[in-house]
Structure 1
Amino acid sequence: MDLLQLLTDPISQPIMQRVMIAVLLTGIVSGVVGAYVVTRGMAFLGDALAHTILPGVAISYIISGGNTQAVLAGGIVAGVISAIVISILGRVSQLSEDTAIGIVFAGALALGIGIISSSRAFTTDFTHLFMGNILGVSNEDLWLMIAIGAVVILGTIALYKEFLAVSFDPTLAEALHMPTNRLNIALLVLMALTVVIALQAVGIALVAGMIVIPSATARYFVKRLHHLMIVGAVIGALGGALGIYVSWYLNIAPSAAIVLMLVALFALAFLFAPNRGYVWQSLRHPQRN
């Protein structure tokens, strides 16, 4: 088998072409939003949001009879509500943000499990929910993912300066009379939408990895936030594409293959990134290692 055939075989069928587009979109959006998640130390929030959408997904699944677009819509509603509740609870109570996230996370997850356990409708779809079902993406699913992705990207670009101020200098943001509370909610909503997109690709169990790892890898190469968003998007898309090829040739779950490829890219960056990689640092400062 020559190189050209090796590259084209996995995407020769229409269904795999849809899968590749969906994975590239997921990687790009995850890389962009993940830049804020990583720089603000909000990795736990990404994982929590992935689980808080479970009640919305479960309810919409039961009502619609498993319609994918309805399930994604239910996930969006649940994610937005969770983002707003987390923001309000962290602001008006005496609790830290991590504690507020933990409470909403636990409550929503328990509610979702309760709904699922009360219905016999969930069989293999329960596995798809937690492990992803990128191979089942339809044209309608893809267009919905594109629409959600466009909202996330455009929202991130439109509010870039505001998000930058709120994330890194909230005191300055308040001094400039920026609506910091609303901006924080908006950022959480964009994160929730990103989680919904990634849900189809990697499932609830691995969503956090899809969002966090690309930007964590990008930090070994760039410092500025807008550079982190661009490089993170490239790494997310690359890891997703490589994962599809690995899944095809090794016959393993696409969700696992995608995240494993992202972890592999992170490991390469950690070891060999110029100036910041472990090997480079060891050669420059051997006494520190």
Structure 2
Amino acid sequence: MAGYLLEPLEFGFMQRGLIAAVLVAIACGILGSFVVLKGLAFIGDGLAHASFGGVALAFVLGANVYLGAFIFAMGTALGIGAISRRGRIRFDTAIGVLFSGTFAFGILVISRVEAYTVDLFGYLFGDVLSITAGDLWTIGILGALVLLVVFAFYRQLLFVAFDPTVAAASGLPAGALNYLLLGLLGVTIVTSIQAVGIVMVVALLVTPAATAYLITRRFHHMILASCAIGSLSAVLGIYLSYYAAAASGASIILVATAIFLVTLAVTGRVRKAASIPGPSH
């Protein structure tokens, strides 16, 4: 048994992949809890797909792909807010319009430069085992930034997440805090791109947090449980990808989904048993 656990750790790419996946899982666990609480899964998906336009453009121009992804993700987030505020367009409609347009732009870019297609598809579907030491530093710095900002504004963000109307009436800048949350979401998505890919990053944001939601009652417990479940999914997923010769990003998400389904079944049975009256004496 020890051999199965230690053998993959003999390789540097596995060590970097495991560290990166756990760091990404922790960042996603923190922001994912807010995403689940506020029902922001669709905007998370939208920002993830929108970032691909920035990845493609930066890659072709020889610029930093993380910077390109962040600029496009943040631009889309600000655009969604502006369109939904100033016009009669619904929030979800604005998301659909902007993310599909920016994602289509990324597809257009890679379709014109065939030599880059294979490399760019790695950002779509993820390849945590190809992470370099430089990527690891970037992921660590961005993850630490997310953690520090959430810690500094935790009470305000939590208040806005639970009841934005009351928060605004209490004098909190609800609009600014919502944009801060969107910005943190954009940073987290950019951090996660290399690990699980643009297509599946929303699953790593939502699935561990949704699992934690089933088993916890307090929000800070939900964050801790989400980070733990995401980290466990990341480690088991990478080991699965190593021994099954499968895609690492997909393996991580499948493990997280399996944990969610098992938790859902167990908690459903517990609630059902608790609702059945016991025998009378």
CA contact (8 A) 2:195 2:249 kept: yes
| In the alignment, structure 1 residue 207 sits paired with structure 2 residue 207 | no
Cα shift at 1:286: 5.9
Tell me whether 1:83 sits opposite 2:96 in the alignment.
no
The structure 2 residue matched to 1:74, chosen from 53, 68, 77, is: 68
* Residues 56, 120 of structure 2: 8 Å contact kept: no
Match of 1:34 in 2: 32
Q: Counterparts of 1:102-141 in structure 2 under 5 Å?
A: 102-141=96-135
Q: How far apart, CA to CA, are the structure 2 residues paired with 1:286 and 1:262?
A: 31
Which position in structure 2 is the counterpart of 1:246? 240
Residues 148, 197 of structure 1: 8 Å contact kept: yes
For 1:244 and 1:271, the matched residues in 2 are separated by: 25
1:225 to 205, 212, 219: 219
Hey, what's the Cα distance between the residues in 1 that align with 2:260 and 2:189?
21
Counterpart in 1 of 2:162?
168
Change (3 A) 1:194 1:182: same
Asked whether the 8 Å contact 2:25–2:234 carries over to 1, the reply is yes
How far residue 230 of structure 1 moved from its aligned partner, in angstroms, is 1.1
Cα gap change, 1:127 to 1:282, in 2 (>3 Å): same
- The match for 2:253 is 259
Indicate the residue corresponding to 1:282 in structure 2: 272
Matched, 1:183 2:184: no
Q: Distance in 1 between matches of 2:89 and 2:117?
A: 38
Q: Give the root-mean-square deviation of aligned CA atoms.
A: 1.5
Cα deviation code 1:24-74 (max 9, x no counterpart): 00111111100011111111111111100111111100011xx7xx11121
Percentage of matched positions with identical amino acids = 36
Alpha carbons 2:111, 2:117 under 8 Å: kept: no
Contact 2:110 2:117 in 1 (8 A): no
CA distance in 2, matches of 1:177, 1:189: 21
Q: Which runs of 5+ in 2 are unaligned?
A: none
Aligned partner letter, 1:28 = I
Q: Tell me, yes or no, if the aligned pair for 1:132 and 1:202 is still in contact at 8 Å.
A: yes
Task: Tell me the equivalent position of 1:12.
Answer: 10
* Distance across 2 between alignment mates of 1:188 and 1:204: 17
In 1, Cα distance between equivalents of 2:160 and 2:275: 36
Letter in 2 for 1:188: L
- Alpha-carbon distance in 1 for matches of 2:107, 2:276: 51
> Is contact 1:132–1:199 with CA below 8 Å preserved after alignment?
yes
Cα distance in structure 1, aligned partners of 2:275 and 2:219: 28
Amino acid at match of 2:11: Q
Give, in whole Å, the separation in 2 of the partners of 1:10 and 1:238: 16
Please, which of 18, 21, 24 is the counterpart of residue 19 of structure 2? 21
CA distance in 2, matches of 1:266, 1:222: 13
Q: Do the aligned residues in 1 keep the contact of 2:146 with 2:187 (CA within 8 Å)? A: yes
**Which of 33, 42, 54 is the aligned partner of 1:44?**
42
My pick for the range that moved more, 166-175 or 216-225, is 166-175
Q: How many residue pairs end up in the alignment?
A: 277
Q: Structure 2 counterpart of 1:201, which letter?
A: A
- 8 Å Cα contact 1:52/1:109 also seen in 2: yes
Q: Which runs of 5+ in 1 are unaligned?
A: none
